[in-house]
Chain A
């Protein structure tokens, strides 16, 4: 009987029978407020994105009212500030692509190899220094990278390549590549470390060497994460503005030659926004059309990254 008396005792914390079943704590006002507040925060970023997209589309409509889409996509000159205006996106697009390709050539191999080194080879002591050290690169302001490209990398390249233009795609592309290395290495390393240890052990137990384990088990197992890190880093390179504005020049130039000066879409946007382009003119609206192309490009790269993550994930 003593036991049942104990149970019936009221409000003993932790004692059985302490919870009043008529109170609904789960849906209390406090819980609701928290839920709505969190939901609102999540909503803000979605609304911002939608707002940006809407502004780009509507302002671009003004541009395409004066310039046909056909001209925009087929014309090979981009001269909005000249008296004879041409609005072909290709020079800007090729500038962006050229910078991105150079950056990819620099960043993808170096980033992936450092990821492999940090994940599989480096002793924990070195990893503890190396990983934050690499991530520090991501914290450097891009304007610093821009002047690094202009005042250090370009003169350095000029000693190897005589006659290299002071503004050139090569120098800017290399430095953009350096800037995105930490993104590639950090995300790829996470992906490699997420491959179960048991798979690596199984491979070692079959007499595989370290490089065989890395190349035939760890990297294939992490391939979706690695590819995603590549694409995310490249979409970062596509959107990079400061370095290319400072080091690549301001000459819309339809070329694949990295020695030449090019203008990227982002650099064009900066130049026009800084200049005294009057509002309401076609040059002003061209800003939004270029911005829309840029937005669509990075958006599709993000979709591609998501698709690859889902499609090529090795299930374990």
Chain B
């Protein structure tokens, strides 16, 4: 079988998807992905297309594999010993596992974690850190301002860029982590339950930031919060027991889910 790196061939590789979404060009493409932690088979034959400049939400009960899938998209899982992956993940049609360097993959595909994890350094050092290790040569102050503006944090911190990152509130720290990710200039930003450690006001602010970011970035967000998925995502994928049950436009999936399982989950009958 010949490897196709073309994105124009819009084959319907995600059989569970019933909307028109897959007909658009895919930014990230997951093909028949299986993943194991040791002998634990946590992702089972997942195929999914993710659209550019949209927010895609991964939902599902704990342990359903949604975070694992997210971490497969920037090869973070291979930092854990004893994991195994089969299948393909393509970004812009390019396989990120074969003939690819994980470091380069992570520069294209940034990630924001569940708990804010800024470095124990100043605010501006945090923003510039990733860019610096990646050999950024431009003016650092400009990059710091640009990224903090994109992450909607600039106005709150512009007078204290040399303050320690830990002096910020949890929500501000999380937006700092977003700014830090953007400084590496990725096209895709992965977010693993970015609001789970935040209070409702900080969450609202974060969601607003995410909506602004989708103009320039493709965003994939794992969330436990169904309302959040409804508020910010264009597409939603529902996972259960390591399988992709259903993926569709968010309003479609929330109002007319094709699968009984999806309906039970989003209406709160289980999970």
Contact = CB atoms under 8 A, between A and B. Distances in A.
B223 to A, nearest CB: 18
Interface stretch (B35-43, B110-118, B143-151): B110-118
B48 interface: no
Interface in A180-232: 196, 198-199, 201-209, 212, 216-217, 220-221
A206 B130 contact: yes
A207 B104 contact: yes
Interface in B61-117: 74, 76, 79, 81, 103-104, 106-107, 110-111, 113, 115, 117
Interface residues of A, number: 22
B120 A207 contact: no
B110 A205 contact: yes
B181 A198 contact: no
A221 B135 CA distance: 22
Given A207-B107, A208-B133, A216-B133, A199 B119 contact: yes
Given A124-B81, A198-B115, A205 B106 contact: yes
A159 interface: no
A202 B120 contact: no
B180 A206 contact: yes
Q: What is the size category of the interface that chain B forms with chain A?
A: 20 to 34
B103 A208 contact: yes
Nearest to A125: B81
Given A206-B133, A216-B133, A314 B120 contact: yes
A36 interface: no
B32 to A, nearest CB: 25
A123 interface: yes
A315 B120 contact: yes
Contact of A202 (B74, B103, B134, B177): B177
A26 interface: no
B154 interface: no
Find the residue from A208, A216, A217 having the highest chain B CB count within 10 A.
A208
A82 interface: no
Given A123-B81, A205-B111, A196 B130 contact: no
Given A201-B76, A212-B133, A221-B120, A207 B113 contact: no
A220 B125 CA distance: 14
Nearest to A213: B133
A124 B106 CA distance: 25
B129 interface: yes
A316 interface: yes
Contact of B113 (A123, A201, A316): A201
Find the residue from A203, A204, A205, A314 having the highest chain B CB count within 10 A.
A205
A117 to B, nearest CB: 16
Given A123-B81, A216-B133, A316-B166, A207 B117 contact: no
A201 B67 CA distance: 14
Contacts of A196: 117
B120 A206 contact: no
Contacts of B111: 205
Interface in A33-79: none
B141 to A, nearest CB: 19
Contacts of B117: 196, 198-199, 201-202
B184 interface: yes
Find the residue from A207, A212, A220 having the highest chain B CB count within 10 A.
A207
Nearest to A123: B81
Contacts of B115: 198
A221 B110 CA distance: 23
A32 to B, nearest CB: 43
A216 B129 CA distance: 9
Find the residue from B103, B115, B119 having the highest chain A CB count within 10 A.
B119
Contacts of B119: 199, 202-203, 217
Contacts of A205: 74, 76, 106, 110-111, 113, 181
Q: Which 3 A-B pairs have the closest CB atoms?
A: A206-B130, A207-B107, A314-B120
Interface of A: 123-124, 196, 198-199, 201-209, 212, 216-217, 220-221, 314-316
Given A198-B113, A206-B130, A207-B184, 7 more contacts: A196-B117, A202-B177, A203-B129, A205-B106, A206-B129, A208-B133, A220-B120
15 contacts: A124-B81, A198-B117, A199-B119, A201-B113, A202-B117, A202-B118, A206-B107, A206-B130, A206-B184, A207-B107, A207-B130, A221-B120, A315-B120, A315-B164, A315-B166
